[in-house]
Amino acid sequence: MEKLQYAPFSCGLDAGFWQKLSEKKLNEYALDETPKVIRGFYFNGDLANLSPRIVLDYTGFDRQFKIPPRCFLSIGTLYLKNTLDNFKECDKKLIIDQVAEQIWQDIKDLKAVEDPSLLSRFVLLSFADLKKYHYYYWFAFPALIYDVFLLSKPTSLKDSLSTEQIENLVKNYDQFQAQFTSFHGYFVISSLEDDLAVIELQHTDTLLAAGKKVTFVFCDPCTLENHPGWPLRNFLVLIAKKWGNKMESVNVLCFRDRSRDGVRDISHSLLLNIKLEKLDDQVCPKCVGWEKNERQKLGPRMVNLSSTMDPTRLCESAV
């Protein structure tokens, strides 16, 4: 049996984000180092072979954050340090473990069944050298460790469903998402009267009680042919915790929704058949997720924006 491996998230930060962070630091946070809530989003329609990423732009600080259309929420914690030494010396293990504990808590008391977006969290540890326009940052996408194995090779949706069934699924998916103010990244599908119905995760028990077969679905930012993306990791822990005693294996659909040249396509979505391992549900599982840097080492990154943000340099290049 093949062990399931997930493509990790990477971060995408635009220059507007750093500008906003600088303003916040100067005008609002000042020397306050307490963690702040920020928000990012991911997308499941990228072209093939692009790296899955969580995007943060200047809206990430807004209290009334609006997720862009067709994107999915990820909740973040910002640790903005006052000095480079604080940035360097803070306890990274503690930081990620606190988020892992939070995710585990939401899984244990089943809050994540009602609001599965709680499963998708990130950490941004940062230090902003506002005089030099140097920004140091390190992301973590915390995932609880729960090893599972594939019972069969991943198949694509087009090999399992007919063209009509796929079209039907797209229609039901659109209707499902249209009920909410923003897109939901986790749900289930089940066959009801010859139709593949798209249903909220919290109704899974009702479906199972009625003897229906359920496929768990998550919106997958990954584009690889044999591997799912990161959001499945914590979702599987939730599935194992909540339904592990009722089923030995689960079907998971990695929902990918691409449009190109005016044609919508979900047929490259992946179907996985996963053996559910027994989960020790007394203790919080160990956690991984710090992003590797350009050298593929565990370490932060730095971006120098002086050429675009420093007023004196902007003046020089303007003439």
Partner 1 sequence: MQNMINAVKGTARGVAEYLTPVLTESKFKETGVITPEEFVVAGDHIVHHCPTWQWATGEDIKIRPYLPPDKQFLITRNVPCYKRVKQMDTHQQEQEKVIEEEDDDGGWVDTHHFAPDSNVVNTAELVAEMTLDSKTSQTKAALDEDDDDDDEDDGEAEDMEAFEQGGMLEEEDDATLKPEAVVSESDGAAGGGDSGIIQTRTYDLNITYDKYYQTPRLWLFGYDENRKPLTVDELYDDFSQDHAKKTVTMEAHPHLPGPPLASVHPCKHADVMKKIIQTVAEGGGELGVHMYLMIFLKFVQAVIPTIEYDYTRHFTM
Residues between 5 and 24 with contacts to partner 1, criterion CB under 8 A = 5-8, 10-16, 18-20
Q: Which of 27, 63, 69, 193 binds partner 1 (CB under 8 A)?
A: 69
Residues 258-297 touching partner 1, rule: CB under 8 A, are 259-262, 264, 286-290, 293-297
37-62: b or e for each residue (b if 16 or more CB lie within 10 Å)?
ebbbbbbbbbeeeeebbbbbbebbbe
State the pairing for strand pair 134-144/301-304: antiparallel
Distance CA 319, CA 316 (A): 6
Which string of x and - marks every residue 26-55 that binds partner 1 (by CB under 8 A)?
Answer: -----------------x-xxxxxxx-x-x
CB-nearer residue toward partner 1: 110 or 302: 302
Q: Is residue 65 a contact point for partner 1 (CB under 8 A)?
A: no
How far apart are CB 211 and partner 1 at their closest, in Å?
A: 33
Query: How many amino acids of this chain bind partner 1 (CB under 8 A)?
Result: 79
Q: CA-to-CA distance for 265 and 287, rounded, in angstroms?
A: 34
| Cβ atoms within 10 Å of 110's Cβ, excluding its own | 12
Helices 92-108 & 232-243 angle (0-180, nearest 10): 40
Span of 128-136, 180-188, 237-245, 247-255 interacting with partner 1 by CB under 8 A: 128-136
For position 104 contacting partner 1 by CB under 8 A, the verdict is no
- Closest contact distance (angstroms) between CB of 81 and partner 1 is 12
Count of positions (residues) in the chain = 319
Q: Which is nearer to partner 1, 127 or 186 (CB)?
A: 127
- Indicate the residue type of 71: C
Any contact of residue 147 with partner 1 (CB under 8 A)? yes
Residues 159-198 interacting with partner 1 (rule: CB under 8 A): none
Which residues are within 8 A (CB) of 207 and not within 5 positions of it... i.e. 6 or more apart?
188, 190, 199, 214
CB of 172 to partner 1, least distance (A): 17
Cα-Cα-Cα-Cα dihedral of 1, 232, 256, 66, to 10°? -170
- Confirm or reject binding of residue 84 to partner 1 (CB under 8 A): yes
According to the binding rule CB under 8 A, does residue 233 interact with partner 1? yes
